[in-house]
A and B are shown apart, each in its own frame.
Chain A
Amino acid sequence: MTDTDRSAGNVTFPRIGSVGLDGLLVSFGDRLSEAGNRAALAFRAAVERESPEGVAETSTSLVSTFLRLDALHADPDAVAREMQALLDSRDWYSADLPQGRRLWRIPTIYGTDLAPQLEEAAEEAGLSPETAAREIAGTRVRVQTIGFAPGQPYLGELPEHWNIPRQQALTERVPVGALVLAIRQLVLFSVSTPTGWRHIGQTGFRLFRPEAEEPFVLRPGDEVIFDSVEREAYNRLCDAGPDGGATCEAIR
């Protein structure tokens, strides 16, 4: 046990687990936390710097670092031991956020036929739709990880009353640019896909531009404000290009 261990129930963090035959997951918690998120990002950066043998690629999820191994040539136990030594080398929960972070403002329509689940989500949170929309538009959220679909951010963290579960059944399809909500987090969809999250807002922001020089727009650590706009302004901004009227400035 080191002083970086965090306990949740009977599981101690950080811990190393297996994902499929060729994946290792280094988890810094079983719920979202600011410190766990910073730890995951910093730990991945350290693994990338060390580039241990047998590790084919790495990524982060909310509070975990994922390592894909070269299944046929790597020794998973040896890599896990190396990761344990790296875990023990410092207190990852006190790591800094990544450098070069930016603040994005993304124009958003809340509710209406474009985002039909605002009312449902607001009711789950015990708020009126108007209050819910105002509250979310007024919250500066941070990109905790990019995942699920290309360039797609998980953003948070929202206040406790937004700890609403995913739906039992999946929504068959939400459009590109959909802002969805569950378990105190927002996700901005980069593709059109089925989801269990509730569709509360709609943007014209393209997160993945396969042919562009920078195909993936947002980065972990970036912050976002989903400014509320009227329908007419929204339509105009969507026509203007892939940013959907979004602006970006460096965070100093």
Chain B
Amino acid sequence: MSRALIVHQAGPGVTVQDLGRPGYLAYGLSRGGAADRLALYEGAALLGQAVDSAALEMAGMGGTFEATEDIRIALTGAPMRASIDGAALAWNASHPLHAGARLTIGPATAGVYGYLHVGGGIATPEILGARSAHLAAGIGAALAAGDTLPVGPDRGRETGLVLDADDRFSGGEVRVVAGYQTGMFPDEEVARFEETRFTRDARGNRMGVRLAPDGDGFASRAGLTVLSEAIVPGDIQVTGDGAPFVLMSECQTTGGYPRIGAVLPCDLPRVAQAAPGTALRLRFVPSDEALAAERRAAEARDGLRRRLTHLTRDPHDIRDLLSYQLISGVIAGNEEE
């Protein structure tokens, strides 16, 4: 059998994701791609490969997987209980997965979206230039038991690396910029919005996440007859019931509800990874501060390789000690494309 990952069992929200397909806004197709884009950068750093490699995104629950050949894997995003043939695996780390071994990934212990990356990337056919499932658009499908996913050729060899990943799995403060519709909300409403503690509602998915305010909902002057306009991931629409709805990667491209502002792209993973019931606060920042934050986040993504360390293992926990490469090669730093 050719190089592939077999799905023996999968949670209800396991899909192939990459950075999405930009360029189709004029046709009504949003970019889509991983709900937590930072996790893709982390996976690419751990495996020393290009960030556009496709991975499996697992919403809340993973699955059971097997490789047809020895491959490398990395686990990022929301931490989940993971093991290979019963031996527990570190999260935010890279590991070997030998042919025939069973990789089991259980429920998330924090956050929402966990990611399973493979050396060489998931190599399913591209549709409109990307491999991402975009379920809202009818592209691709959630994975199910019996699926076999081709895996691309892997130029890297190293495993046993771990990343000190940003904690973005427990809510907290999220930065927002004003947009051209912010003025539709009276100043008092915007001020109250900033002071409000929101709870991530159970209603939420890859298209958007509803935030329940701990007080009254929010009202704009515009009512419900605003013209449908271009919207982007991060935009905060205030729907008819007054609760804000943050648009996520698989959002629609136009929307008719007024937007009070937009979450910064670099803070969007924090919203995506807030599990139902998690508390969030939204704070407006000026656009120059927002841009500076975005630039810092981009630099941090580019520097992830420098934050890798080697996993330390207790030899007693390693059943097949001899199969491990005990002295890892140094990181050459040129593995990324």
Residues of A within 8 A of B (CB): 17-23, 25, 27, 30-32, 44, 56-64, 66, 68, 71-72, 76, 145-152, 154, 163, 165-170, 176, 183, 190-191, 193, 196, 208, 210-211, 215-216
Q: By CB atoms of chain A within 10 A, which of B22, B179, B227 has the most?
A: B227
CB-defined A-B contacts under 8 Å, sample of 18? A18-B180, A19-B230, A20-B262, A21-B177, A56-B22, A59-B230, A61-B229, A62-B228, A71-B265, A71-B294, A147-B28, A149-B28, A150-B137, A151-B29, A168-B240, A169-B240, A169-B241, A191-B136
Known: A21-B177, A59-B25. A165 touches B224 (CB 8 A): yes
Question: In the complex, what distance in Å separates the CA atom of A151 from the CA atom of B181?
Answer: 26
Interface set, chain B 244-282, CB cutoff 8 A to A = 252-257, 262, 264-265
Bound Cα distance A170, B232 (Å): 20
Q: Which of B101-156 contact A (CB under 8 A)?
A: 127-128, 136-139
Contact flag A22-B265 (CB < 8 Å), given A149-B252, A191-B138: yes
Nearest to A183 among chain B residues (CB) is B225
- In the complex, given contacts A18-B287, A61-B228, A196-B256, what are 14 additional A-B residue pairs having Cβ atoms less than 8 angstroms apart? A18-B179, A21-B262, A23-B232, A44-B26, A56-B22, A68-B25, A147-B253, A147-B254, A148-B253, A149-B28, A151-B28, A169-B241, A208-B29, A210-B139
A contact residues around B257 at 8 Å (CB): 196
Taking CB atoms, residues of chain A closer than 8 Å to B253 are: 59, 147-149
A147 to B24, CA, bound (A): 10
> Which A residues touch B232, using CB under 8 A?
19-20, 22-23, 68
User: Bound complex: CA of A105 vs CA of B229, how far in Å?
Assistant: 27
Q: How far is the CB of B296 from chain A (nearest CB, A)?
A: 11
In the complex the two chains form, what is the Cα distance from A66 to B235 in whole Å?
14
**A30 and B227 in contact (CB under 8 A), knowing A23-B232, A148-B254, A208-B138?**
yes
Give the distance to chain A from B133, nearest Cβ to Cβ, in Å: 11
Tell me the count of chain B residues lying within 8 A, CB to CB, of chain A. Answer: 49
* A146 contacts B27, C-beta separation under 8 Å: yes
Q: How far is the CB of B266 from chain A (nearest CB, A)?
A: 9
| Smallest Cβ-Cβ distance to A216: which chain B residue | B27
Contact indicator A62/B227 (Cβ below 8 Å): yes
Assess whether B62 is interfacial by the CB under 8 Å rule.
Answer: no
Contacts of A150 in B (CB 8 A): 24, 27-29, 137-138
B31-65 residues with Cβ-Cβ distance < 8 A to A are none
Q: Return chain B residues, CB-CB under 8 Å to A145.
A: 254
Task: Give Cα A71–Cα B233 distance, bound, in whole angstroms.
Answer: 14
Which residues of chain B are within 8 angstroms of A61 by Cβ–Cβ distance?
Answer: 227-230, 254
Instruction: State A225–B227 Cα separation when bound (angstroms).
Output: 23
Q: Dominant SS at the A interface?
A: loop
Q: Which residues of A contact B228 (CB under 8 A)?
A: 61-62, 147-148, 154
A183–B222 Cα distance when bound, in Å, is 14
B241 CB to nearest A CB, Å: 7
Given A170-B239, A183-B225, A193-B136, CB of A147 within 8 Å of CB of B230: yes
State in angstroms the CA–CA spacing of A22 and B234 once bound together.
11
Chain B residues, CB < 8 A from A19? 179-180, 230-232, 235, 262
Residue of A nearest to B24 (CB): A150
Bound complex: CA A32 to CA B229 (Å): 11
A-side contacts of B138, CB under 8 Å: 150, 176, 191, 208, 210
The closest CB in chain B to the CB of A206 belongs to B138
Give me the 5 closest cross-chain CB pairs, A-B, nearest first. Answer: A17-B180, A66-B230, A20-B262, A147-B254, A59-B26
Within 8 Å by CB of B225, from A17, A22, A25, A165, lies A165
In the complex, are the beta carbons of B227 and A72 less than 8 A apart?
A: no
Using known A-B contacts A20-B235, A210-B128, determine if residue A166 contacts B230 with beta carbons closer than 8 Å.
Answer: no
- Tell me how far the C-beta of B174 lies from the nearest C-beta in chain A, rounded to whole angstroms: 13
B223 within 8 A of A: yes
Q: Of B26, B178, B252, which contacts A60 at CB under 8 A?
A: B26
Is the CB of B23 closer than 8 A to any CB of chain A? Answer: yes
Among residues of B, the one whose C-beta sits closest to the C-beta of A77 is B287
Contact B287 A21 (CB under 8 A): yes
Are the C-beta atoms of A165 and B294 separated by less than 8 Å? no
Question: CA–CA, A146 to B137, complex, Å?
Answer: 14
Closest to A193 in B: B136
- Shortest beta-carbon distance from A73 to chain B in Å: 10
Binary A-proximity of B174-215 (CB < 8 A = 1, otherwise 0): 000111110000000000000000000000000000000000
For the complex, is B304 an interface residue (Cβ under 8 Å from A)? Answer: no
Cα-based distance from A176 to B235 in the complex (angstroms): 25
| Chain A residues whose C-beta falls within 8 Å of the C-beta of B265 in the assembled complex | 20-22, 71
Contact A196 B240 (CB under 8 A): yes
Task: Point out the residues of chain B lying under 8 angstroms from A68, CB to CB.
Answer: 22, 25, 232
